[in-house]
Amino acid sequence: MESVQTVERRFACNDGELAPGESMTVPRSGPGTVAVAVYRNDDGAYYATADTCTHEDWSLGEDSDLEGNEVVCPLHMARFDIRSGEALCFPATVALATFEVVVDDGKVYVL
């Protein structure tokens, strides 16, 4: 799935606030925007996808397990690659939208 760019730069957190292996949700910022899950993998890199599992309406940023570069939705165990959004196993068959993440002056933003 191709990366999606939001209309605005959205602040997610301060660099280092999200520990490796953790995720969080950046809420919608207005009409036409979506909530975004921000992940920090074990290597310390940041990635972002749409927050809602494509199989079922469930937050991936707030209530999921991050295993390396895969996020696991606890509702039905759907797995996604946080780098590409690709659905890796059933029951999910639709990829997550992905977003660019930048770290600027100690702050993490989603584009």
Taking the C-alpha atoms of residue 96 and residue 2, their distance in angstroms, rounded to an integer, is 10
Taking the C-alpha atoms of residue 17 and residue 23, their distance in angstroms, rounded to an integer, is 11
Residue with tokens 């999606």: 4
Domain count, the chain: 1
pLDDT digits (tens, 9 = 90+) for 65-89: 999 999 999 999 999 999 999 999 9
Strand-pairing partners, residue 40, are 22, 46
Instruction: Return all residues near 5 (Cβ < 8 A) that are at least 6 apart.
Output: 99, 100, 111
pTM of the predicted model, to two decimals?
0.91
CATH number at residue 39: 2.102.10.10
Mean pLDDT (the chain) is: 93
Q: How far is CA 70 from the centre of its chain?
A: 10
Q: What is the mean pLDDT of residues 38-62?
A: 97
Residue span of the structural domain in which 41 resides? 3-110
